[in-house]
Structure 1
Amino acid sequence: MPLQQVFLVAKYFRKTVFKNTAIVILAGFIAILLAYAIFLGWNNYVNQNETSQKYQQQSYQDWLSNPDKNPHRMAHYGNFAFRESSPLSVFEFGMESFFGNAIFLEAHKQNTANFSEASFSNSMLRFGEISTAMVFQILLPLLIFFLGFNTIAAERENGTLKLHLSQGINWKQLLLGKMLGIASILMMLFVPALLLIILIWFLLQNFTITLDETLKMILFMGFHFIYLLFFCVIAVLVSAASKTSKKALISLIGIWLLFTIILPRGTQALGAYFYEAPSKVQFNSQIENDIIKAGDSHNPDDLHFKTIKDSLLRLYKVDSVKKLPFNYSGFIMTEGEKISSKIYNKHLDTLLQVYAKQNRFSKAVSFLNPYIAIKNLSMGLSNTDYDSYINFQKQAEAYRYGMAQKMNGLQMKYISNEKQKPTDKPYIIDKDHWAEVSEFHYKPTGILQVLKNEIISIISIFFWIILLYIILKTASKNLKAI
């Protein structure tokens, strides 16, 4: 197939498009919106990370500055875990505005993340935020459809289509030429945006990038480029199959609405309907009930812990907890923490299985809708998806459990079993022990885990490549000029 014919068709299309003032205005508006989205993302990223770093350090300094005291009191004093944003979250906000970025960590209790952007915003946030990813995923496809709706349908209407085909250009060359023409115009927006994105991405990391973040960046832009090419192909194919430009435009707008609004919203609703998750109140009450059944470490008359007490006395051959070689209360608190954490993790895993089913249902629909596939990939690569939030929760819980058990261990080692008199000085330990608990540092999900989480979305992208190739090949043989 002579490529010269394809390039000629693309060149001619590019020249004629800019004669349409409406297209120029629309493209200019999207370019301005894209620049604004990049600036907004940069501002949000800088503010959020500065705040997270500031209060993470302040929280840890507050922990270290506590005076000499009983380690059990320190366990209840607690600490905070803050989640910093990844560099790519500048361009894809994902679910960050709705999931909190701070968790209060204390003994015997697992808290959820708080202080989400949505909780401090007005109702306008429900309509979505202007992000670079949103422009790429929703607005640029709409621009592509406006560019491509009359690529072939208009030529069929004015009779020039038969003239082109009679001059030696076949359907395959014509279709590819029109697609290349749309793609070349798209690159006038995509390439400058790409260069600006890369520059900001470098600046945010002080030009010191990791291999993990580099791979995420390459895949982020690569998948978005492929996604936009899908719409170039769809626009030309629909125009070629339509009798008039009006029918082509209506069909393409319908496809755009179906892909970007109807299917995503409907998929979420159906997933939640088929796999119903318990409310937060139900979840917490179930955990509380199971903990009561298992035993209350703060209740001296609890049967479960009374059995533990009797076993310890027999094991160490003593008749009183005062004679044990370690602090009995600290040991009981350690056991209580193990029990409550085990129960919480059990319920959490059950809940996560429900959410996993909802997410798998949503990802399965990506075989019908490439928008869902690219949205999931975009959020995963920028660490703004649901899996990243759960990863943060688990890291915070592991830190909380380690902090509580460290304080329980100090109590067992340094606090006496002798009961104090009202006039006695409280049992305390040196404040230098607080430094044995390190500062919390959130680690974002690595590229390999992201790809594993989004394997269905990746497969669906390749499915769409194959599907559109087959449709294009079939159409080039069966389309008619009239």
Structure 2
Amino acid sequence: MRRANVGLFMRHFLKNAFKTKVIYVLLGIFMLLTAYAAVSGITNYSQQNAIRLEHQRKARQSWEANPDKHPHRMAHFGSFAFRMKQPLSMFEYGIESFTGNAVFLEAHRQNSVNFSDAGFSTGTLRFGELSMAMLLQLVLPLILFFLGFSVVVSERENGTLKILLSQGAQWKEILLGKALGLFVVALLFFAPIVLVTMLFLVFGDIPTDIGDSWQRFLVLFLGHVLFLLVLSVLSIVVSTTSRSAKNALLTLLGIWLLMVVLVPKTAQAVGNALYPTPSKLSFQSAVERDVIKKGDSHNPDDPYFNRLKDSVLTVHGVDSVTQLPFNYGGFVMREGEKTSAHLYKKHHDSLLNIYEKQNNVSRYTAVLNPFVAVKNISMAFTGTDFKGYVDFQDQAETYRYQLAQEMNELQMEYIGARVKNSEGKVNVVRQEHWEEFPDFEHRMQLLQSSVKEASLGIFSLLGWVLFSFLGLGYLSKKAKAL
């Protein structure tokens, strides 16, 4: 195979592609869509983060504004945790519009994350949101298929291929040159999105400590480059193996429909059928049932906590909780919080395991579907996938538990041992302790976690690239000019 000939066929493809007005129209429309998606993504990111930061600030002000109060009442007063949008979510929306972004944090209860964008939107959201990732993963493939479906088959029909082969050209040179030519066109469409994203990371209204956003952007860039390369080769392969341009176009459209719509929807339905999830009511009932079975810290006659009281009195060598060197009510609340948090985590982990199995059914289709592979990579590295949502839940629960236990420790230390309830204005802790407890701050998921989550998609895309070029090489030995 001669590189000069490969370059010659690539340039010939580009010359023919830009000879017609079609590509300019497509490029113009795509640029307009890119501009709209970029403005929408950046605006949504900036506005949502500004709103959530403001609500987080107000929640903190409300917490600190509490006067001297009994710590247990503060534990039930609680606070809020708001999920911040990550910088690259302006590129890929993922599932963020369908998951909540705020949760109320209080003692003894693990509340659901609420206030999703979908909950406040019209039904049009079900048709998807126009993002730059959507343009690359759904719209651009159609454009490439449209530009590449007739590249080889039309030259076979008009006899050009026979002339080229008779003059010494090789099939491998022709196919590779045309595939690279289509790939260059794909990069031309891709370039504005890359430029906009880079400019946003440099000049956008984002935190100064954006951390590994550039590393995430690099993986996103390389992942989509590989994806577009696979599509370019696939277009040429289908064009070469088809007997007519019409058949080639129908085949490529069928592939797009199969991999973009049918396979993902089918995998999702299969996952839901194989691994059904309990209803919200049954989940909450199961948690409450186990908590009551283990022991209710608010019930003075609970057998478990009565045994605990006897053991505490024995250890300290006293006859009554009023003789203990700490407030026994705070001690009971602390132990009750440990128990309820442990039981909730057990049930929550079990529920997440079901969701993980459901998602795995779809994720494993990435081995056969490059569209799913690049989607999984895109969501993982922008923090808009299910793992990113679960990571926020974990951070919020950790903060909630620390807040509740800090209030219990304050009760044990500062409230007298003889005090049995939280009523009145005497048995209180000074307001300065509320200010000392730090505010909630949502941190982005670790890069290593994103790499692990997207590993199957990454290896799948690499495998598709290898498979595509091996298929191109095999086809070059079997293809015919007639």
- Indicate the residue corresponding to 2:251 in structure 1: 251
Q: Alpha carbons of 1:419 and 1:177: their partners in 2 closer, same or farther (altered >3 Å)?
A: closer
Uncovered stretches (5+) of structure 1, i.e. residues with no partner = none
One-letter amino acid of the counterpart of residue 278, structure 1: P
CA distance in structure 2 between the partners assigned to 1:234 and 1:88 by the alignment: 29
Deviation per residue, 1:383-436 (Å, 9 max, x gap): 000001000000100000000000001111111233579997441111011123
SS in 1 for 2:300: coil
What's the CA shift for 1:322? 1.4
SS in 1 for 2:141: helix
CA distance in structure 2 between the partners assigned to 1:469 and 1:294 by the alignment: 61
Q: 1:107 touches 1:400 (CA, 8 Å); kept in 2?
A: yes
Paired residues, number: 482
One-letter amino acid of the counterpart of residue 297, structure 1: S
- Indicate the residue corresponding to 2:239 in structure 1: 239
1:24 aligns with 2:24: yes
Q: Alpha carbons of 1:448 and 1:422: their partners in 2 closer, same or farther (altered >3 Å)?
A: closer
Q: 1:202 touches 1:208 (CA, 8 Å); kept in 2?
A: no
- Indicate the residue corresponding to 2:322 in structure 1: 322
Q: 2:92 touches 2:132 (CA, 8 Å); kept in 1?
A: yes
SS in 1 for 2:96: coil
- Indicate the residue corresponding to 1:304 in structure 2: 304
Deviation per residue, 1:42-75 (Å, 9 max, x gap): 0000001111211112211211110011000000
Q: 1:102 touches 1:115 (CA, 8 Å); kept in 2?
A: yes
After superposing the two structures, state which structure 1 stretch, 270-279 or 416-425, moved more: 416-425
CA distance in structure 1 between the partners assigned to 2:376 and 2:442 by the alignment: 22
Q: 1:82 touches 1:101 (CA, 8 Å); kept in 2?
A: yes
Q: 1:81 touches 1:440 (CA, 8 Å); kept in 2?
A: yes
What's the CA shift for 1:279? 2.0
Q: Alpha carbons of 1:421 and 1:9: their partners in 2 closer, same or farther (altered >3 Å)?
A: closer
Q: 1:27 touches 1:143 (CA, 8 Å); kept in 2?
A: no
CA distance in structure 2 between the partners assigned to 1:197 and 1:175 by the alignment: 33
One-letter amino acid of the counterpart of residue 94, structure 1: G
Alignment of 1:27-426 (within 5 A): 27-204=27-204, 212-419=212-419, 425-426=425-426
What's the CA shift for 1:313? 2.0
After superposing the two structures, state which structure 1 stretch, 192-201 or 93-102, moved more: 192-201
CA distance in structure 1 between the partners assigned to 2:424 and 2:97 by the alignment: 51
What's the CA shift for 1:290? 0.5
Q: 1:52 touches 1:84 (CA, 8 Å); kept in 2?
A: yes
What's the CA shift for 1:107? 0.3
Q: Alpha carbons of 1:454 and 1:424: their partners in 2 closer, same or farther (altered >3 Å)?
A: closer
What's the CA shift for 1:217? 0.7
SS in 2 for 1:150: coil
After superposing the two structures, state which structure 1 stretch, 30-39 or 306-315, moved more: 306-315
One-letter amino acid of the counterpart of residue 338, structure 2: K
SS in 2 for 1:454: helix
CA distance in structure 2 between the partners assigned to 1:244 and 1:425 by the alignment: 87
Q: 2:83 touches 2:101 (CA, 8 Å); kept in 1?
A: yes
Q: Alpha carbons of 1:306 and 1:41: their partners in 2 closer, same or farther (altered >3 Å)?
A: same
Deviation per residue, 1:313-371 (Å, 9 max, x gap): 22222222111111111111001100000000001111111122222222211011011
CA distance in structure 2 between the partners assigned to 1:464 and 1:339 by the alignment: 49
Q: Alpha carbons of 1:174 and 1:261: their partners in 2 closer, same or farther (altered >3 Å)?
A: same
What's the CA shift for 1:208? 5.0
Q: Alpha carbons of 1:462 and 1:387: their partners in 2 closer, same or farther (altered >3 Å)?
A: same
CA distance in structure 2 between the partners assigned to 1:419 and 1:133 by the alignment: 60
SS in 2 for 1:94: coil
Q: 1:259 touches 1:371 (CA, 8 Å); kept in 2?
A: yes
Q: 1:420 touches 1:426 (CA, 8 Å); kept in 2?
A: no
Q: 1:92 touches 1:378 (CA, 8 Å); kept in 2?
A: yes
CA distance in structure 2 between the partners assigned to 1:194 and 1:427 by the alignment: 60
Q: Alpha carbons of 1:230 and 1:424: their partners in 2 closer, same or farther (altered >3 Å)?
A: closer
Deviation per residue, 1:253-294 (Å, 9 max, x gap): 000111111111111111121122222222111101101101
Q: 2:132 touches 2:193 (CA, 8 Å); kept in 1?
A: no
One-letter amino acid of the counterpart of residue 446, structure 1: L
CA distance in structure 1 between the partners assigned to 2:59 and 2:155 by the alignment: 67
After superposing the two structures, state which structure 1 stretch, 433-442 or 130-139, moved more: 433-442
Q: 2:73 touches 2:422 (CA, 8 Å); kept in 1?
A: no
TM-score, normalization: structure 2?
0.96
One-letter amino acid of the counterpart of residue 151, structure 1: V
What's the CA shift for 1:206? 6.1
- The alignment-based identity, stated in percent, is 45
Q: Alpha carbons of 1:326 and 1:222: their partners in 2 closer, same or farther (altered >3 Å)?
A: same
TM-score, normalization: structure 1?
0.96
After superposing the two structures, state which structure 1 stretch, 205-214 or 58-67, moved more: 205-214
SS in 1 for 2:80: strand
Q: Alpha carbons of 1:422 and 1:264: their partners in 2 closer, same or farther (altered >3 Å)?
A: closer
